Structure 1
Amino acid sequence: MAAPDAREPASPWVQRFAPLIPPGPILDLACGKGRHSRFFLKAGRAVTAVDIDLAGVADLLPYPVFEAIAADLETGAPWPLGGRRFAAVVVTNYLHRPLFPSLLAAVATGGLLIYETFAAGNERFGRPQNPEFLLQRGELLDLTRGRFRVLAYEDMEQAMPYPACFQRIVAVNSLSSAAA
């Protein structure tokens, strides 16, 4: 089967840290059009993609190492992945704080959390402007403290490719699954 088309490229943050992901499946949460699913499939990785609308990844369904799960993650319904663990959980441009415990629990021991989304200050540049959808200073550090080892973290204003405030983290789950 041919490699999935590139469409929109994967985030440079995700691309930078992808080589550090240990063997195993990858979770692309709030996958949208599937730019990260495509990136990892092209690299030969198994991917589980979750989103409310899977139209953006429908062309990937024939891939034997691709699983798509339709779920509205913001209804308070049970976590759609049960107790499954992943070599990496990748989240970009999405924030729903009630999911944080499930996201952390889904990262296998030694696996990576790769997360980047808009941060406080972004309201100056457009959407999102609502503080509920903007990470506060150090929020991702606080989230991972005591459980994950931080490999990289940024909380910054960027000018390119468009002006925005972002917070990004890559962290390794340093606890055994028995202690989680």
Structure 2
Amino acid sequence: MRYPSAWVMRFADELPARARVLDLACGEGRHTGLFLMKGCRVTAVDIDLSHVEALAGTPGLTLECRDLENEPWPYGEDQFDAIVVTNYLHRPHFPNYYASLAPGGLFIMETFTEVNTRIWGRPRNPDHYLLPGELLRLAPSGVRIVAYEEGLTELDYGVERIVWMKPGPVEKLAVSLGGR
């Protein structure tokens, strides 16, 4: 199993114990495991759960096999304290992310850009990679942008990363930028 993304790890400590986390397109479960170890309640969703079957029955974990690109969005409003999306892009989900995020909640995303396609040839489908600055344009109006990056990782993957906070009556004054 691969390690959790440094971007996700950088903001994971912002969530309180027992936070409700949606790990969308959870893949091998690298972020599911991270948040479970932090005491969060995690809903891990993917079209193929074979890579996370060994986690079934873990306290605080709900595994859901779903094809969210071809079925209605199943999550209600204000349901999650954080939504984590890495190496996955489906633009029509952005309004759903906002609706399902609790007030004061964090949206954490990191995925591939067109630069990655030019360097590595993947993803091939333009629906699956971001154009320059696109995550900033996809962020819903009124959210607080906590952090944003675009460029090459240490392994020369082209990515764009964002963390935004949904406004709420109670929210953090400031989020740690790491490096402590």
TM-score scaled by length of structure 1: 0.86
> Which runs of structure 2 are paired with 1:9-28 in the superposition (5 Å)?
9-22=3-16, 24-28=19-23
> Which runs of structure 2 are paired with 1:146-161 in the superposition (5 Å)?
146-158=141-153, 160=154
> Which runs of structure 2 are paired with 1:25-174 in the superposition (5 Å)?
25-75=20-70, 77-83=71-77, 85-126=79-120, 127-158=122-153, 160=154, 162-174=155-167
Q: Indicate the SS of the match to 1:55.
A: coil
Task: Please report how far the alpha carbon of residue 145 of structure 1 lies from its aligned counterpart in structure 2 after TM superposition.
Answer: 4.8
CA distance in 1, matches of 2:141, 2:95: 13
Q: Indicate the SS of the match to 1:20.
A: coil
Contact between 2:77 and 2:102, CA under 8 Å: does it hold in 1?
Answer: no
Identity, in percent, stands at: 47
Task: Please report how far the alpha carbon of residue 45 of structure 1 lies from its aligned counterpart in structure 2 after TM superposition.
Answer: 1.1
Corresponding pairs, count: 167
Task: Please report how far the alpha carbon of residue 107 of structure 1 lies from its aligned counterpart in structure 2 after TM superposition.
Answer: 1.3
Task: Please report how far the alpha carbon of residue 84 of structure 1 lies from its aligned counterpart in structure 2 after TM superposition.
Answer: 5.5
TM-score scaled by length of structure 2: 0.86
In structure 1, the gaps of 5 or more residues are 1-6
In structure 2, the gaps of 5 or more residues are 170-180
RMSD: 1.6
Which runs of structure 1 show a deviation greater than 3 angstroms over 4 or more consecutive aligned residues? none
Task: Please report how far the alpha carbon of residue 78 of structure 1 lies from its aligned counterpart in structure 2 after TM superposition.
Answer: 0.8
